[in-house]
């Protein structure tokens, strides 16, 4: 009976996927690294068109540390329901499935054992993922609106808050104890919008999207590097190779450090029902050219 129930659950997941992506029957199987995609150079391009980038709203992707699973959130434009989607590499082929309803903006922690879901999270189990858990009163507050939460390998946490004028907060670990979150500096928390942070696994830089006076139009991606004294450096616009007059948001760097992923839509937010467009990727050397030489 247990095996029969597992089969039914798998069948339901496969049927759900067929209704939320493009017609998988018309697409070839994905084989090889990075969902079988040809890596980009220094010019961004859509990631996995027809599989990850579909007619639905596909956001905020992240890989497991071994690069064999890719997770992202999708809003079905027909049902307007949000889902957490997974592509898993089995052998040399990638297979799509639905993990469950989306909560927050899913983002894997560097160890691959924790899935951040805004002010909630799941942990890896032998059979998949645990039930959704609260991060506790330090983060799960009614007066905070956390969309995306990110962590580095040493436990540093950065998150946004749309209920408090779109700001970013940071929480570190000191002597093994979690420290209360504090606001990042005004050079980061400035402009019309500050959201969707990503902190590097080694904690050396932070990327987020913001609307600032020095931007190229709407939301742009900015980066700040950790200084030798532990402070955060100036907010640096990632430039017109990445940013456009449209929207760029939800940055993420693959665990191997090779590629920057982000959402891009060339049309401004007020003119488009899908403000974040598709997931794009680009060579992460685009980051290194901005890194200060200490």
Q: What is the pLDDT of residues 72-122, one digit of tens each?
A: 999 888 998 999 999 999 999 999 999 998 888 999 999 999 999 999 999
Position 138 pLDDT exceeds 90: yes
CA distances from 150 to 22, 115, 172 (A): 30, 10, 12
The arithmetic mean of pLDDT across residues 254-259, rounded, is: 97
Per-residue pLDDT, 193: 86
Q: What are phi and psi of 154, to 5 degrees?
A: -85, 5
Q: How far is Cα 243 from Cα 125, in angstroms, rounded to an integer?
A: 38
Using an 8 Å Cβ cutoff, are 151 and 110 in contact? yes
Q: What are phi and psi of 147, to 5 degrees?
A: -90, -50
Q: How far is Cα 151 from Cα 235, in angstroms, rounded to an integer?
A: 19
Using an 8 Å Cβ cutoff, are 150 and 197 in contact? yes
Per the listing, tokens 């794009």 go with 280
At 275, is the pLDDT very low, low, confident or very high (cuts 50, 70, 90)? low
Neighbours of 146 (CB within 10 A): 23
Return the SS3 of 145. coil
Could you read off the pLDDT of 144-165 as tens digits, one per residue?
999 999 999 999 999 999 999 9
Per-residue pLDDT, 268: 59
Exposed, middle or buried by CB within 10 Å (0-12, 13-18, 19+), for 229?
exposed
In 3D space, the residue among 68, 129, 59 whose CA is nearest the CA of residue 93 turns out to be: 68
Using an 8 Å Cβ cutoff, are 264 and 29 in contact? no
Exposed, middle or buried by CB within 10 Å (0-12, 13-18, 19+), for 253?
buried
Cβ contacts of 232 within 8 Å, gap of 6 or more? 184, 185, 187, 188, 206, 224, 225, 226
Position 26 pLDDT exceeds 80: no
């Amino acid at each position: 009976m247990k095996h029969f129930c597992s089969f039914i659950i798998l069948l339901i997941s496969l049927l759900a996927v067929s209704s939320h992506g493009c017609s998988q029957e018309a697409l070839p199987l994905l084989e090889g690294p990075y969902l079988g995609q040809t890596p980009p150079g220094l010019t961004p391009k859509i990631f996995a068109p027809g599989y990850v980038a579909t007619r639905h709203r596909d956001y905020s992707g992240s890989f497991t540390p071994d690069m064999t699973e890719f997770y992202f959130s999708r809003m079905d434009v027909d049902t307007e329901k949000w889902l957490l989607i997974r592509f898993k590499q089995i052998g040399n082929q990638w297979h799509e499935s639905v993990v469950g309803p989306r909560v927050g903006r899913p983002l894997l922690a560097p160890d691959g054992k924790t899935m951040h879901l805004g002010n909630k999270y799941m942990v890896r189990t032998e059979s998949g993922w645990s039930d959704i858990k609260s991060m506790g009163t330090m983060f799960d507050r009614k007066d905070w609106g956390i969309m995306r939460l990110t962590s580095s390998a040493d436990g540093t946490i950065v998150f946004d808050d749309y209920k408090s004028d779109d700001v970013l907060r940071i929480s570190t670990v000191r002597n093994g104890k979690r420290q209360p979150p504090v606001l990042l500096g005004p050079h980061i928390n400035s402009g019309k919008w500050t959201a969707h942070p990503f902190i590097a696994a080694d904690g050396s830089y932070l990327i987020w999207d913001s609307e600032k006076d020095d931007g190229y139009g709407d939301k742009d991606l900015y980066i700040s590097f950790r200084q030798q004294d532990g402070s955060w450096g100036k907010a640096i616009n990632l430039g017109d190779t990445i940013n456009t007059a449209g929207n760029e948001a939800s940055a993420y760097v693959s665990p191997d450090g090779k590629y920057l992923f982000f959402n891009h839509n060339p049309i401004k937010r007020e003119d488009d029902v899908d403000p974040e467009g598709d997931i794009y990727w680009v060579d992460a050397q685009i980051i290194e050219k901005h890194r200060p030489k200490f």
